[in-house]
Structure 1
Amino acid sequence: MKTVTGKMAITIISLSMFCFLISCSKSSTIYAPLVYDPAKDSIRVFYTAEGKKDPTILFVHGWSCDHTFWDAQVRYFKNNYRVVTIDLPGHGESSAPEIPYTINLFAESIKSVLDELNIDKAFLVGHSMGYPVARRFIQQYPDRASGFCIVDGAYFRVPEDEEEIIEWEQQNSHFLQGFREENRAEFIRQFIDSLFVKQSSPVLKKSITRRIMNTPAHVANSAMEDMVRKENWEEYPLHLPTLAVYAASPDMPQDNEAYLQTLFTDLEYHEWTGVGHFIMMEQPDRFNSLLSGYLMQRFNQPLK
């Protein structure tokens, strides 16, 4: 296989929604894949699209997750918005060739899906690793984002001092080593466990753990390795309406809100207790209400 980059050809798999004629009155829907013929060295990116044509909300999942992590949001928002979910390259139903999985590649996959759907602009919602992915897309294509919602977004702060940078990179290297060792599965399970709180549903926790563990190792490892690269965190302020909701954690920097305000000049910040990392799944009603209210307040629905 040839060397590929974030600009590589991306082939789209879409699920087109249609109703059975007999059951349309009950709004029953199913999906069927469109025929595709991927070119050599291309990536097949899976997505779903439901609801009205405009306005559009595009949900971006996190590390080793997939589009189904947004099921509760799709059900809630599809009656008033066009709702798009995506399986980032290597995740879920998308293809997973042996290539580097980078923030840039993931951002390009968002553009490819929007292009395929002929959508000029969308409100992006990014969870965990979906935060830097969506942010990179916004940096590269600012005219195609009407707003942004950060859901317990993962980020790294690069120290300014050279000696501290060396120590920071050594710590990251030690962390990444856990993904390569023989006890990788146990290491990842412990990592996933740290993302929940005592109030988290055991059933949900088990389901999330299983789905994350199903992500191919070469994809998960490569994506994590790229995410901790300091070059990905040379950030500058973005000027678009931004909603952020974080799960309170002892590991969270005390100045989390203040730091995000340096990156987003129009920020509304929320911090919730009693919820783990997967906010939109653990407290879907509360999250949906927050996002819906924000969209109504800031954009008076429809989005502009």
Structure 2
Amino acid sequence: MTADIVPGADGVQLAREQRGSAPRYLLLVHGWCCNSQFWAPQAEALADTCTTVTVDLGGHGNSRNTRQRWDLSSFAEDVAAAAQGLDGPIVLAGHSMGGAVAMLAASKLGERLRGVILGDTFSFDWGHVAEDLQTGYLAAIDSDLPAMVANLVDGVAPADPDPLLQQWLKREMARPDPQVAVPAFASLLNFDADAALAALPGTLPIHAINCPQAHPAPRERYADRISESVLDDTGHFLQLEKPAEFAAAMREQSVRMFVGG
């Protein structure tokens, strides 16, 4: 494993790690209030066939929070920065908010991009959330982030959650500054997936690996553009709840994308 620092949006320092040595890259993007450790099982498991790259988005994990913009666009710039120096084909994979960020970053990678994998990105019908719900979510984040993420983690858990994983998720997701978390979630609530998809080539493969509870509206809306597989008996954090099964699904899709490209 090699670790380095790269300048992201507005020059903020980003922590990046690479595993493997193959001349093709799987760039893993974490979700809201998460960090690169949320991809740890897949970063290790898939490094035998490609170089896996993880990055802490600005304001998350070991990256700095020395900027003013905390929205999907700035995070997409962070992902593009993390792709600097990756001299070969790239598949982007994003979990939750990271999927929205990956969809926006995809247009910045040019001919290197081979496909996008979304990990339960549409747990909400982003861009279609009622105003009163948006106001309530943002107020809860601003007033008590640990309590809000605890409720969120419990609410998106599988039927039989692992107590230790639940504790870890709640602890890690409470780490970011609310000054980062609030505008980031506000931007996610208003994510325009239609515009993001319109900016990408119609032939670019996009595949969603979802839990059974993924929101039905976007699944139906984008069924003709985003292929889907469902990982049974999982909740929102499926890459940690069933890491081996999720890695196997990612391996299948990324190999198909690299070969197809």
From 130, 155, 162, the counterpart of 1:194: 155
What is the root-mean-square deviation in Å for CA atoms of aligned residues? 2.6
Offset at residue 84 of structure 1 (A)? 0.4
Q: Which residue of 1 aligns with 2:72?
A: 103
2:197 and 2:80 map into 1 onto residues whose CA distance is 21
Maintained 8 Å contact 2:126/2:190: no
Q: Which residue of 1 aligns with 2:130?
A: 168
1:233 and 1:298 map into 2 onto residues whose CA distance is 22
Which consecutive unaligned segments of at least 5 residues does structure 2 have? none
1:77 and 1:123 map into 2 onto residues whose CA distance is 12
Task: Give identity over the alignment, percent.
Answer: 21
Paired residue type of 1:244: A
Maintained 8 Å contact 1:156/1:233: no
**Per-residue displacement from partner, 1:90-120 (whole Å, max 9, x unpaired)?**
00000012512011111111111211x2435
Q: Which residue of 1 aligns with 2:206?
A: 242
1:230 and 1:292 map into 2 onto residues whose CA distance is 27
From 43, 46, 54, the counterpart of 1:74: 43
Give the direction of change, closer, same or farther, for the CA distance of 1:179–1:218 in structure 2 (3 Å limit): same
Maintained 8 Å contact 1:158/1:233: no
> Whose relative contact order is higher, 1 or 2, with alpha carbons under 8 Å and at least 6 apart?
2
From 148, 160, 167, the counterpart of 1:206: 167
Offset at residue 71 of structure 1 (A)? 1.0
From 274, 291, 299, the counterpart of 2:233: 274
Q: Which residue of 2 aligns with 1:130?
A: 98
Give the direction of change, closer, same or farther, for the CA distance of 1:231–1:71 in structure 2 (3 Å limit): closer
Q: Does 45-54 or 167-176 show the bigger shift?
A: 167-176
Paired residue type of 1:97: T
The structure with the largest helix share of the pair is: 2
Q: Which residue of 1 aligns with 2:13?
A: 44
Offset at residue 268 of structure 1 (A)? 2.8
After TM superposition, the score normalised by the length of structure 2 is 0.87
Paired residue type of 2:210: Y
**Residue 151 (structure 1) aligned with residue 138 (structure 2):** no
Offset at residue 297 of structure 1 (A)? 3.9
**Residue 216 (structure 1) aligned with residue 177 (structure 2):** yes
Which consecutive unaligned segments of at least 5 residues does structure 1 have? 1-15, 18-30, 160-166
Paired residue type of 1:126: G
Q: Does 274-283 or 286-295 show the bigger shift?
A: 286-295
Q: Which residue of 1 aligns with 2:34?
A: 65
Offset at residue 256 of structure 1 (A)? 4.2
Q: Which residue of 1 aligns with 2:25?
A: 56
Give the direction of change, closer, same or farther, for the CA distance of 1:236–1:72 in structure 2 (3 Å limit): closer
**Per-residue displacement from partner, 1:192-240 (whole Å, max 9, x unpaired)?**
2112123221111111111111122211112112212366764444421
After TM superposition, the score normalised by the length of structure 1 is 0.75
Give the direction of change, closer, same or farther, for the CA distance of 1:295–1:185 in structure 2 (3 Å limit): closer
Q: Which residue of 2 aligns with 1:258?
A: 220
Maintained 8 Å contact 2:120/2:236: yes
From 226, 235, 241, the counterpart of 2:187: 226
Greater CA radius of gyration, 1 or 2?
A: 1
